[in-house]
Structure 1
Amino acid sequence: MRRKISAAIIGLGVACVSVLATGSASSHGYTDSPTSRQAFCADGTVEDCGEIQWEPQSVEGPKGFPSHGPSDGTICAGGNSRFAELDDPRGGDWPATQVSAGQSYTFRWRLTARHATTDFRYYLTNGTYDPTRPLTRADLDLQPFLTVPYGGRVPDATVTHQGTLPSGRTGKQLIVAVWTIADTGNAFYACSDVQF
């Protein structure tokens, strides 16, 4: 009788671990090159960030951006109201990474939990972008300037992508990086302020 109970407990434990390992909660990540808003909050560079300071890897929202996904004004938080501080433009005062138009750049993600991946995509704001207002799709070039397909593979814990920043940009702009998960309905979002 004792063996049957032990076997049942072990079986239940394995089933629970399997369920936890396949859900969307098992995949998390954020960009730190260029430094994302959530990374600045996590390292204390920016204060009054709310919960994101402890969970920079958790900006998860619906996938399918830009035709689907988070609504306008909630893009940087992935549509997740827990992290609404990321959508606050702070008067345009978010720290920005210095870049140059047409520059070759290495983009980097830190993945605290890896997952089967469709792709990574990078979008840049356009000439109408106002860094003092919440981000909308009208502020973005809706064609990504860099797409890295993954075909369902699981990426490493640190992922780098080499790309070229679009030419013709000046002033403060915003890069929206999207990590699309292959086997859930979600993606991870990271907004990085940059100064051309």
Structure 2
Amino acid sequence: MSDRARLRARAKRLGLLTALATLPAMAGVMFTAGSASAHGAPLVPGSRTYLCYAHSLDETGALNPTNPACKAAMETSGANGFYNWFAVLRSDGGGRTEGFVPDGELCSGGATVYDFSGFDLPREDWPVTHLTAGETYEVQYNNWAHHPGSIRMYITNDSYDPTQPLTWDNLEDVPFDEATDPPAEGGPGTDEGHYYWDATMPSDVSGRHIIYMVWERSDSEETFYSCSDVVFDGGDGEVTVPGQGTLTADELADAAAAVEENTPAVDHATDHATSADHATAAEHAAHAGPAAPTASTAVFDAVRTALPGWLR
């Protein structure tokens, strides 16, 4: 198997593990139309907003976080930041970072459309992705709406303390990786559609860190910000969600089979924007509509298609 094929296989397996971990909560839910229109966040390594959303849906489609950090985020800033996990943005960002987004608000990006302030809480119990220093991984960044631009990846330095608010001084000044107009897989307007590229992790890191991503559009001033909690402990992309148990391979297979047998085919709503250029916060608010469950039934399709191959 080529290096590219190996990376793609590993990324697909990790993505499916994340999806499967949420299946007991998501099975039987028929996700309905929201008209949310913005635009993307990291799936691998998962951002705080994405992992909290994915691991908080219960069997009714309601948000019921059991992870302590995700629960605290909801208590602080409500459910909108969960349902709009892909909308941590500033329409006037212009790629700006330090001096624009205030210290202590990096994970919320100083966003003004939705309240993401709960995701700025300094805690040690956020969902975390296990990685190995110096290894190359395929990064996946959701493309809820497609835009051209560059995605920069920063890492926290030795001053980072997860029990203290994240500041710009806690980040390395220079990104360790950057991708411009990366290729995409899957369609916009879905939970699993994403841009992808290979990124080599810094070799001189260990322990708990944050990978901070800045997606700067090249066709507008709009800029997206995200925090992905990671731990460099020799891991291979596994995700730990404090407060939740784990599923065995047999349980994963049973969950996938239950979805296959019991979930009716449901077409996606067609009113998701795919490439609108929302230049102002007011336009975002006007297009976003009410916060409603917008997770995609295509997750189930991906599981049904790919599960037999990697569990055999």
**Where on the TM-score scale, by shorter chain, does this alignment land: which range?**
0.7 to 0.9
Q: Secondary structure at the match of 2:41?
A: strand
Equivalent of 2:227 in 165, 181, 191: 191
Hey, which bits of structure 1, 4+ residues long, moved more than 6 A? none
2-structure distance, mates of 1:155, 1:185: 22
- Relative to structure 1, the CA distance from residue 147 to residue 68 in structure 2 (aligned partners, 3 Å threshold; closer, same or farther) is farther
How far is the alpha carbon of 1:30 from its aligned partner?
0.7
Match of 1:131 among 151, 162, 179: 162
Identity %: 35
Question: 1:67-120: CA deviations, max 9, x gaps?
Answer: 454111111111126110111123x21121001111111111111111232x11
Q: How many aligned positions are there?
A: 168
The runs of 5 or more residues in structure 2 that have no matched partner are 1-35, 57-66, 189-193, 233-312
Question: Match for residue 153 of structure 2?
Answer: 122
Deviation at 1:63, TM superposition (A): 3.3
Instruction: Specify the alignment match of 2:201 in structure 1.
Output: 165
From 22, 40, 50, give the equivalent of 2:51: 40
Return closer, same or farther for 1:69/1:159 CA change in 2, 3 Å cut-off.
farther
Partner residue, 2:179: 148
Alpha-carbon RMSD: 2.0
Counterpart in 2 of 1:94?
A: 126
Contact 2:154–2:176 at 8 Å: present in 1 too? yes
Secondary structure (helix, strand or coil) at the match of 2:49 reads helix
| 1:99 and 1:194 in contact (8 A); partners too | yes
Please state if 1:56 is matched with 2:85: yes
Distance 1:131 1:177 in 2: 17
| Larger strand fraction of residues | 1
**Does the Cα contact within 8 Å between 2:183 and 2:196 map onto a contact in 1?**
no
- Superposition TM-score, scaled by structure 2 size: 0.50
Q: Provide closer, same or farther for how the CA distance between residues 192 and 57 of structure 1 changes in structure 2, counting only shifts above 3 A.
A: same
Amino acid at match of 2:129: T
Question: In structure 2, the residue corresponding to 1:29 is in which secondary structure?
Answer: coil
Q: How much does 1:64 deviate?
A: 2.6
Give the 3-state SS of the residue equivalent to 1:41 in structure 2.
Answer: helix
Counterpart residue number, 1:15: none
- Identify which range, 41-50 or 53-62, moves more after superposition: 41-50
Residue 139 of structure 1 and its aligned partner are, at CA, apart by 0.3
Query: 1:65 Cα shift?
Result: 3.6
Unpaired runs of 5+ residues, structure 1, are 1-24
Residue identity in the other structure for 2:105: T
CA contact (8 A) 1:42 1:56 kept: yes
